Amino acid sequence: MLILRADAMGMCFGVRDALAVIGRLPRPEAVTIHGELVHNGEVLAMLDRAGFVRSPEAARAVPSTPVVLVTAHGISERERARLLAAGKQLVDTTCPLVGKAHAAAQQLAAEGRRVIVLGKRDHVEVRGIVEDLEAPLVVGSEADIECWPQARLGVVAQTTMPEERAAQLLAAIRAANPQACVRWLDTVCSPTKARQQALGDLLPRIDALVVVGGRDSNNTRQLAERGRAAGVRTLQVEHVRELVPEWFEGVQVLGLTAGTSTLQRTIDEVHGWIGRLGGAIAVAARGNPGTSNPVESVRRG
């Protein structure tokens, strides 16, 4: 089995920089991580072990610790003001590209447009953007699109939405609102674009795909959905422990990619596991005695 790694995959600079800031904080027990830092169970478990306090994304209570860490997903200015008014010291790890999405939405609003955010309504990043807007709209699918009465509409996207999906929704909005002047500001982040592009390059060359990343990670799920939509057998795993040899039976060329919050270590563990499996299959194919059942040989190994 040949394993092809996507040219761009895994942790983005926004998450990496946020984790670097967190790693330098001297007293974890004095810090509440406000909302989920990343949608990655392994990273969250590491934070728990280090002693950080975590407040759930939906929490509206002011954290009890003196220091509050704003995650890479960002928060609204309204929320920031609320925390500062409560006397909290903020450590801000908002990704600059999320900041750009906030600024784009504000720019459209300043132009007198009703702002539409393409993305998941309950995602922390989307909530942060819409909380600062007057009568915002969130469009997660075609079912959310209407003919709105405004003559001026402005559209931005959650940073991790695939470009193609954003383009589909934008076209549907334009079609449903022919009376409106619709302005689109592209806020899909460059690491998301690069990972989607790299996967697009990989798909015609593979017959199965493994996507490594958190189950709740939006961009990881989008990568897996793209694989399935292309008709490629696709497996999304959060950890190497979820892999089973049977899934790989008959696979000749396997693609490997990972979401933007996936640790390099996790990718390497998954790659290593599959590599060992692939090696066992190759040996069996050459008729090596004792490995007539490659799956069994891997289990024994």
Residue ranges in contact with ligand SF4 by CB under 6 A: 12-15, 72, 95, 97-98, 159-160, 189, 191-192, 260
Q: Give the sheet arrangement for strand 31-34, strand by strand.
A: 53-55, 31-34, 67-70, 89-92
Between 223 and 254, name the residue whose CB sits nearer to ligand SF4: 223
The amino acid at residue 70 is: V
Smallest distance, ligand SF4 to C-beta of residue 230, A = 22
Between 206 and 223, name the residue whose CB sits nearer to ligand SF4: 223
What are the CA-CA distances from residue 16 to residues 6, 119, 218, 268, 290 (Å)? 19, 23, 17, 17, 45
3-class DSSP state of 287? coil
User: What is the rounded CA–CA span in Å between residue 257 and residue 4?
Assistant: 9
Q: For this structure, is 77 an active site residue?
A: no
Between 14 and 214, name the residue whose CB sits nearer to ligand SF4: 14
Smallest distance, ligand SF4 to C-beta of residue 192, A = 6
Question: Which long-range contacts (C-beta less than 8 Å, at least 24 apart) are formed by 42-45?
Answer: 42/238, 42/239, 42/263, 42/266, 43/19, 43/261, 43/263
- DSSP character at residue 113: P
Distance of CA 131 to the CA centre of its chain: 21
> Which residue among the candidates 36, 79, 125, 238 is catalytic per the annotation?
125
Between 192 and 196, name the residue whose CB sits nearer to ligand SF4: 192
User: What is the rounded CA–CA span in Å between residue 238 and residue 232?
Assistant: 19
Smallest distance, ligand SF4 to C-beta of residue 229, A = 21
Smallest distance, ligand SF4 to C-beta of residue 112, A = 27
Smallest distance, ligand SF4 to C-beta of residue 262, A = 11
Between 6 and 281, name the residue whose CB sits nearer to ligand SF4: 6
Strands 2-5 and 253-258 turn out to be: parallel
Give backbone dihedrals phi and psi of 146, rounded to 5 degrees, phi first.
-130, 175
Smallest distance, ligand SF4 to C-beta of residue 159, A = 4
User: What is the rounded CA–CA span in Å between residue 40 and residue 188?
Assistant: 20
3-class DSSP state of 234? strand
Between 57 and 296, name the residue whose CB sits nearer to ligand SF4: 57
Whether 294 and 281 have beta carbons less than 8 Å apart is answered as yes
Q: Residues with catalytic annotation?
A: 125
